[in-house]
Amino acid sequence: MHIKKATYIISSPSYEGCPAPDKPEYAFIGRSNVGKSSLINMLCNNDKLAKTSGSPGKTQLINHFEIMSAGRVEENKKPIPDYKWHLVDLPGYGFAKVSISSRRKWEQMIENYLRRRENLTQVFVLIDARHRPQKIDLDFLENLKKWEVPFSLVFTKSDKENQRTVSKNVKDFLEAMKKTWQFLPRNFVTSAVKHTGKNKILAFIGETNEELLSATKPKK
């Protein structure tokens, strides 16, 4: 899948203020300072799309971007025209230096969005590949299971450690999940610097969108 254009739409303090739920929607979330903005910018080929910062907790609202993806024309396949979908940058969880009341407000905002946003297609949960499994990440995934929210894992910053360490941390995280999960989710190992994992994530989003487009077409 090729992204032709990515445009910022709106930042909302609650799911009620989000754009009309008329397009497939993919949300990105992770512990504060996990590299979420850098990953989003890398996927969209725009270094200035999502605001990056060295200070955790800068994303405090539900940020919507409208993405225009190029259609597909292949031999022996039905053509697919250009189409639009939403990419959502959610506030991080974890180490942001904010008051307890502000943190609880963020948590409620995120929970309401994840549980009530009807066009939410997939959540990409970002995990820092430099570290061993963190309880806060595993606990968040348990909430997604309880809320029946579909998700994939994205291990970030793989260029910041040697490959052996990254592979071990990814393996250890998946092994930790096996203690409470019968089936493991799809996972991607990425680097915003080296563009590692970019094509795989976009291919997955593209395939999912094409399935949704085919399912919503009226039958003749």
Whether 190 is in a domain gets the answer yes
Whether 220 is in a domain gets the answer no
* Per-residue model confidence as pLDDT tens digits over 182-219: 999 999 999 999 999 999 999 999 999 988 877 765 44
* Per-residue model confidence as pLDDT tens digits over 165-191: 999 999 999 999 999 999 999 999 999
Whether 219 is in a domain gets the answer no
Whole-model pTM?
0.91
Neighbours of 74 (CB within 10 A): 8
Contact assessment for residue 85 and residue 24, using Cβ atoms and an 8 Å cutoff: yes
Question: In total, how many domains does the chain have?
Answer: 1
CATH number at residue 196: 3.40.50.300
Report DSSP state, residue 51.
Answer: P
Boundaries of domain holding 61? 3-210
Closest CA to 122 of 165, 48, 185: 185
